[in-house]
Amino acid sequence: MGKSYVEFEDDHGVTLRYRKHVNGRGFVAAGAKVDATAYVHPTAYVDPGAKVLKNASIGPGSWIDHDAVVGERVNIGTNVHIGKRTVVGHGVDVGAHAKVGADVKIANGARIDRDVVVPDGTYVDTTSWARAHGLAA
């Protein structure tokens, strides 16, 4: 019988162990909690201490960093990074290639447009982040 996990070394030389999530087969680190109803794409990663709640969807190539929380019914697009200790409220939509910094708080129902960078420590309300900052038409 083969291993039921894979190991990767992080930037600091620490080996992290990931298992495949039952729904989508994405990588979930030891110490992360991902609800069985959440979808984690096979090329997505959820790091230690992170939580992904009911019916959330983590898209291809996306990365949920250490101790982040992804709320219920959240849709994380392709190649998105959710930073350390960030809290993504329920029903949020995060567009493809968005980079959300550390310690960000995103309100329930908010939208992060594609290709946007949300700086560390930002509070995002229910308006579109890119539109509110003159980055979208």
AA letter at 109: G
**pLDDT at residue 49 above 80?**
yes
Q: What order of strands is seen across the sheet that includes strand 117-118?
A: 5-9, 15-20, 27-29, 45-46, 63-64, 81-82, 99-100, 117-118
Domains and CATH numbers, the chain: 25-131 (2.160.10.10)
What mean pLDDT is predicted for residues 22-47? 96
Q: Which tens digits make up the pLDDT trace of 91-116?
A: 999 999 999 999 999 999 999 999 99
pLDDT computed for residue 137 by the predictor: 41
AA letter at 71: G
pLDDT computed for residue 129 by the predictor: 52
Sign for the CA dihedral angle at 74, 32, 44, 101 comes to positive
Q: Which tens digits make up the pLDDT trace of 112-135?
A: 999 999 999 999 987 655 555 555
pLDDT computed for residue 1 by the predictor: 46
Mean pLDDT of the chain: 90
The whole-model pTM stands at 0.88
pLDDT computed for residue 111 by the predictor: 92
